[in-house]
Amino acid sequence: MRIRDILRRKGDTVATVGPDATVRQLLAVLAEHNIGAVVVSPDGTSISGIVSERDVVRRLHDRGAGLLDRPVSDIMTAEVRSCGPGDQVEDLRRTMTEHRFRHVPVVEDGRLTGIVSIGDVVKSAIDELESEREHLVGYIQGAP
């Protein structure tokens, strides 16, 4: 299965915030969309960074509540690992496990075209196992 198969099902919407948005505004976006990370982008298509709830929790612990009025660019990860729509989901799963992050933006022709979370990857693995199981059951039941 490829990344584009996941995007076909879940859609290509990506929540973004500008680098100058405050951490407080970021929290509103996370809460509103019920998500764990957003891509930091000045224009909605290029990527300046990624910021997840984990970044907020760690920095809040280090720096206190004053963090809420700081720009997200203060706490984002600027070196973002992305993937392409033609990449194999299995390779992405390995990347996520190895680097310990749960979100990977999808980029095509230099433009942000989606985001895949570890939840999407797990769901695609379960769907694949389920259809394999149905195929095997059909094969066994159909066997003379």
Footprint of ligand AMP on this chain (CB under 6 A)?
36-37, 50-52, 54-55, 77, 80-81, 101-104
CB of 128 to ligand AMP, least distance (A): 23
Query: At 49, phi and psi to the nearest 5?
Result: 180, -175
Strand-pair category, 37-40 with 16-17: parallel
CB of 3 to ligand AMP, least distance (A): 13
CB-nearer residue toward ligand AMP: 96 or 131? 96
CB-nearer residue toward ligand AMP: 23 or 101? 101
**Beta bridge partner(s), residue 117:** 103
Q: Beta-strand (E) ranges in 1-144? A: 16-17, 37-40, 49-52, 103-108, 111-117
* Six token digits for residue 138: 């059909």
CB of 93 to ligand AMP, least distance (A): 13
